[in-house]
Structure 1
């Protein structure tokens, strides 16, 4: 595998979402020489999560540098579906293809060898042959960069913010698939609750029955049902790291907004998705990953001739690659001051958030 380094990221910026085309793809925008392509993961381009965050970074870069962009939305989520759309982009003359999510790992593993003239950006995954145990092969080729995020630090900060704001109550966690990035969100969240209880005077409980994984990222109905059950048990706020499953939980929280139901968003700032009346939102805060920053930075590197092929990059709190939104309408000034202090301690190394389960719940 390529070398591992921490990449300095620019501050998180909210890019206007420019959706193009209809059906399964977006039509070309811009007239620049570099053509930037993206294949979406499960969900739509405007999923208020991973796909949208990645696309926002592409939109910002291609607008700023006057480049051509296009996204393709596969008809399914199998390796063959992803390979088909990657091939379509390559055949259409796109030399830079960005793929958001671990489900692209095996497709990129094959495509990076088949199309050495194309540069690939794999977010949240490492190219591999799909074999576990003996016979497994992982390779970040010279024309590929693999990008990861310190989700445990993002989850920690979101937990601290939510715990300080709520003060006393019960939290829950809904994950999508039980995969490393989602697990790290969960484990960091649990550590953040414990830290706030011990150091910041909060009293937040987390029952093992309220920490679960639904098993997918697109079952909206299941997310709403699980959230309803948690709220019925007296949960005050649910952290959802679950894509479309989280959308269902947000919908349920909106229906219970009058009762004080809260959701903690994930990946991007989900405040707008939680709006239910008069600009008010059920999103307390969000555990953000700078997927937009990652996409933007890789496009800029391609233009500058410094594309970090063969490398695995980590975006973390120290590089401002993860955190909570700069603007949190539902958080008090006191809460934000506490979070800023905790963030500084993480960045300095005074607080170390573990990326391992240890003795945590699930």
Structure 2
């Protein structure tokens, strides 16, 4: 377990990191704060403690752990109090780390990732007066009912990935694309299915080949899988591998121009400027900050929450969107409008 305490007045370096991630994430502050049958009382202000328990990938994944961190930092600055990050290096640490957050009086405890779901459910049911936020899954009781003290937020990753798939399908010249996933869990599958559908909508001749690392923190294995795809004729790889995805960027960059990579969660053009095509993004930072605001003003409610294009919670990297050919931008915008309006339903499984 690694533990960091960060006061409401952020250090300059952390401010830069969080600011960059907030700008990179696709979304707005207008989404739903929470939904459900009941909630806990407010507990923000200068005495608040905003706590995040990471998954095994931890900070530095250039993905949703870092985005959640940015949202936590923003909450501490905007609402006051202290931001605390507890890093987990293995799944066995999830419950003890969450229990530690509650014992320390956390105003909101954020659990990051599908793999922490069971731990959140266990700890939340043991501490019904505490407020939790779970990213990428739903914490439920034995009857399958979402817990009232956990805001369980899932994203329509398939919608973001569909847009990324349009860009990829219009870009590939080899008509072979690789997909490197961390593990075959629901959020990763949603990325894959939406991406496949987006590619097929503009280029039905493309073959999407799929491999899984088996973990979200193994960048070397992800790099090897990407190399295999490129060696086999792919000119583009879509990574949904958490911290491991950094290995895909490393492999693409080592090969030079013409070998593309599509990222996830946030813009990652700094990792391989000549190879980055786009990212399928999620507004994790915004969700964390909005949920903290709800705790602060007493409006927090638990339950299952799903956000997608209609809520401006997912999308593609806006930092580089203007660099795409006009016809590709037009195709993405048309699909974005169809999906947000409900006219087009993207497959999730």
Instruction: With the length of structure 1 as denominator, give the TM-score of the two structures.
Output: 0.81
SS of the equivalent of 2:264 reads strand
Q: Is the 8 A contact 2:57 2:89 kept in 1?
A: no
| 2:271 aligned residue | 273
CA deviation vs aligned residue, 1:95-144 (integer Å, no higher than 9, x gap): 21000111111111111121122101011112257xxxxxx643422211
Q: Render the CA deviation track for 1:285-334: whole Å, top value 9, x for unaligned.
A: 0011111121111111111211122x100111111111102221652343
SS in 2 for 1:240: strand
Q: Say which of 283, 300, 305 aligns to 1:307.
A: 300
**Equivalent position of 2:41 in the other structure:** none
Q: CA deviation at 1:65?
A: 2.2
Query: Which among 312, 317, 325 is matched to residue 325 of structure 1?
Result: 317
TM norm structure 2: 0.84
Which residue is 2:235 aligned to? 236
**1:159 has 2:192 as partner:** no
Partner of 2:133: 121
- CA displacement 1:149-171 (0-9 Å, x = unmatched): 00111110101122224466321
Given the alignment, which residue of 154, 172, 183 partners 2:178? 172
User: Corresponding residue for 2:43?
Assistant: none
Structure 2 gap segments, 5+ residues each: 10-45
Match of residue 29 from structure 1 = 7
CA distance in 1, matches of 2:329, 2:58: 32
- Equivalent runs, 1:274-293 vs 2, <5 Å: 274=272, 280-293=273-286
Computed over aligned residues only, the root mean square deviation of the Cα atoms, in angstroms, reads 1.9
Unaligned runs of 5+ in 1: 1-22, 130-135, 199-203, 275-279, 357-362
Q: Is 1:256 matched with 2:259?
A: no
1:67–1:281 distance in 2 versus 1, CA, 3 Å: farther
* SS state at 1:334 partner: helix
* Cα distance in 2 between the residues matched to 1:36 and 1:351: 38
Q: Summarize deviations over 1:8-65 as a string: whole Å, max 9, x none.
A: xxxxxxxxxxxxxxx8121131172221000011112121012001111111222222
Whether the 8 Å CA contact 2:155–2:306 is kept in 1: the answer is: yes
> 1:55-74, aligned counterparts within 5 Å?
55-74=69-88
Relative distance call for 1:98 and 1:186 in structure 2 (3 A) is: same
Equivalent in the alignment of 1:97: 109
> Is this contact kept in 2: 1:267–1:289, CA < 8 A?
yes
Question: Is 1:337 paired with 2:338?
Answer: no
CA–CA separation in structure 2 for the residues paired with 1:39 and 1:67? 17
Contact 1:126 1:138 in 2 (8 A): no
Q: Distance in 1 between matches of 2:144 and 2:275?
A: 41
Query: Match of 2:4, SS?
Result: coil
Per-residue deviation, 1:255: 0.3
1:82 to 85, 89, 94: 94
CA contact (8 A) 1:286 1:324 kept: yes
Asked if 2 retains the 8 angstrom alpha-carbon contact of 1:48 and 1:273, the reply is: no
In structure 1, C-alpha distance between the alignment counterparts of 2:267 and 2:52, rounded to whole Å = 21
Displacement after TM superposition at 1:232 (Å): 0.7
Q: Deviations over 1:247-289 (max 9, x none)?
A: 111110110124x111100112122223xxxxx3422000111
